[in-house]
Amino acid sequence: MATLLFERKASAFAATFFLVVASSQGIAQTIPPHAEGLSEEFISVPIDNGSQVGVLSRRKGTASPSRLIVLLPGYPSVVRPAMANNVMASSQLTGNFLIRARRHLANDQVMTLLVDCHTSIGSICTPSYQASRDRYRHVKSLIEAAKKRAPSIKQIYLVSTSAGSISSAFIAKYGQSEFAGVIHTASIDPTAPRSYAELNNFDYSAIKIPQAFIHHIDDPCRITGYNYIRSVSERYRVPLISVSGGEGFTGDACAAHTQHGFKGRESAVMQRILRMVSGGSWNSSRL
């Protein structure tokens, strides 16, 4: 996972450089593309000798959203957001698919909650922690804090990508009726060499709420192969939305700017998720 760690550091450096230059020149910081149109607030909940933090995002001018989409980003799943001008100005994981495209989910009925890793975990949100009941408790505490700030919320959905699919699987299993549905994107293949073992023999039928996979058919990452997810979809009868196309692919196969991160299809994928959580079909299809 060295290449993914490199991308995280590069993304953090670029964001920090932008802030330093803007400050040194005495100019107003512009809103970064990933936060366009959003009004965001930082949330921190003290729990278990540390804090569970996250970023609550809503479309500007939204009064009473009814649905909350909880975003569980990929490796290393450590965000550490920095806020400025009422948005997340930078983070250690800005390039991640869910983070850079979250603005496509927010509308008058839907807001998002970007979940960081617990502050006691360190620089990598370990797969064993992501599969634990502690992770579930920590995320639940953040959700409860978000609901206090947006009391109109009636339904809560989990959406993950890549390594975050460990969290979405286990949180959905532990939480069950607390969530209206769960969507795993670019999910982990635990049978691949040097992959994460936590999802080995995971019983998706144990999740009784609506769920679906979204996966690019040409995902080049060795631990998120499309064929494996298709077999899981068939075995457990979980709907699979198969994505094709895209453009501007760069970087390592498992990084965020290839088919693995739905590069060039971000808006289409997010709009599909938005339709699903807004009462649309959860059936298998092509996108």
All structural domains of the chain, each given as residue ranges with its CATH number in brackets, are 2-190+204-286 (3.40.50.1820)
Burial of 8 (0-12, 13-18, 19+ CB in 10 A): buried
Please give the structure tokens belonging to residue 212. 């679906």
Q: Tell me which H or E stretch contains 182.
A: strand 181-185
pLDDT of residue 30: 85
Q: Which residues pair with 185 in a beta bridge?
A: 161, 214
Angle between helices 133-149 and 164-175 (to 10 degrees): 80
pLDDT of residue 14: 41
Contacts for 144 with CB less than 8 Å, ≥ 6 apart? none
pLDDT of residue 94: 85
pLDDT of residue 190: 97
Q: Which residues pair with 205 in a beta bridge?
A: none
Q: What is the mean pLDDT of each run of 10 residues along the chain (287 residues)?
A: 41 43 46 94 97 97 95 97 95 93 96 98 96 98 97 98 98 95 98 96 96 98 97 98 97 95 98 97 97
pLDDT of residue 112: 98
Q: Which residues pair with 40 in a beta bridge?
A: 57
